[in-house]
Amino acid sequence: MDNIIVLKCGGSSIDELSDSFFDNVQSLINQGIHPVIVHGGGPAIQGMLEKLNVQFEFIDGLRKTTDEMMDVVEMVLTGSVNPTLSRRLNDHHINAVGISGADMDLLEATPLDYNKYGLVGEVSHVNVEVIHDLINQNIVPVISPIAFGKDGNKYNINADTAAGAVAAALNAKQLIFVTDVPGILQDGELLEEVTTETVEKLIQNNTIFGGMIPKVKAAMKGLKHNVSEVMIVNGKKSKMKNKKTLAGTTIKNAKLAVATV
């Protein structure tokens, strides 16, 4: 199926998504583009863990997930964040349905390193038929990054990783990271297209700095397998570049960019 884009909505930006973002998603749909949304929920998970006095730690940027924490993670992602985002889409007349990656074997996972990270997994299989069935009914899937393993365990999947796996499995034309920034800026001007090589140079010369570094690095991690380009766009002040593209920064693999010149 052509014209699929995967939108990864970060947990910190979901509550701040503007009406214009949803209007622009509808515009893309009107142009025959099929969005699939994968969301995170880190801040909400952390807030609930603190409220319940559940101790947690981060290792290599990943929240180590115990059995006790896994119940909280699923409760927050599937029971709160997912229906909230799905409802906002429906409020803007976009047919959307929330679904957990653990439903209908949508996402299958293997443990990243159980002794080190606990129930943190990486996606080993995506049941694309489930997603295609929803798209064929003109329904936007809204996926929470929970997955089952063949060992019977439920796994917490990093949302960036889940979105990249879904995009690759669907042969998506774009993987779009929806953030709270317009994209990569240089001297106050938006860079509409860059290569991974350019991004590394911009990090080295401090053009990209602070909280923007993990955003672009997460985006570049999406450039794997069948994903040829990723975008960073603003969900708070969403704009369209043209009828079929959101405004933001497109990042392409340096080798692929050279090959297509």
The residues carrying an active-site annotation are 8, 11, 42, 160, 215
Residue 120 CA: distances (Å) to CA of 40, 62, 73, 98? 14, 8, 11, 22
Q: For the chain, how big is the Rg over CA atoms in Å?
A: 18
Quote the strand ranges of the chain, DSSP E. 4-9, 34-39, 58-59, 62-63, 96-100, 107-111, 120-126, 140-144, 146-149, 154-157, 174-179, 185-186, 189-190, 193-195, 229-234, 240-242, 245-246, 248-252
In this structure, how many other beta carbons lie within 10 angstroms of the beta carbon of residue 191? 20
Instruction: Please state the length of the chain.
Output: 261
Task: Tell me which amino acid residue 62 is.
Answer: L
Q: Report the chain's terminal Cα–Cα distance, integer Å.
A: 26
**Crossing angle for the helix pair 196-204 and 212-221, nearest 10 degrees?**
160
Gap between the Cα atoms of 149 and 187, Å rounded: 47
Q: Can you name the residues that pair with 248 across neighbouring β-strands?
A: 233
What one-character DSSP code corresponds to residue 19? Answer: H
**Measured between alpha carbons, how far is 233 from 165 in angstroms, rounded to an integer?**
20
